[in-house]
Amino acid sequence: MDMQTIKKRFDELKSSNQALSVHPKIRGVIINLLDKACGSKENRYQFAITLGLPAHSKDWTTGEWYAVSQMVKPDKDPAIGWIATEPNFTAIVGAVMVTIGANEKQIVIFDK
């Protein structure tokens, strides 16, 4: 999955006529999942900026929240808690993080 494809899909979701409001509790879940996937709050800010969002989620529009929610698709697993169920979630986060560039707060997935 490449950054251009991710950005195009994100922009389509953001401007969708079917963009629904995301409940404030689910917003918190999404932020926590993104923090974990990105490795830190600071990296989540960079993730957001790279997608064309304001760094702080409090400044996101309804359409932006909807688009992010569709990229994460949070759901609660009774055994382990909240998880991202979008099949491409890790690929999306990985592609955006590669675009941002490596830093010490990212999770190392593969050793060289």
pLDDT in tens, 11-65: 999 998 777 899 999 999 999 999 999 999 999 999 999 999 999 999 999 999 9
Q: What are the φ/ψ torsions at residue 93 (nearest 5 degrees)? A: -60, -45
CB 38 within 8 A of CB 44: yes
Question: Long-range contacts made by residues 56-62, C-beta under 8 angstroms, separation at least 24?
Answer: 57/27, 57/31, 61/14, 62/19, 62/20, 62/21, 62/22
| pLDDT at position 76 | 96
Predicted TM-score (pTM) of this structure: 0.85
Provide, rounded to the nearest whole percent, the portion of the chain with pLDDT above 90.
Answer: 77
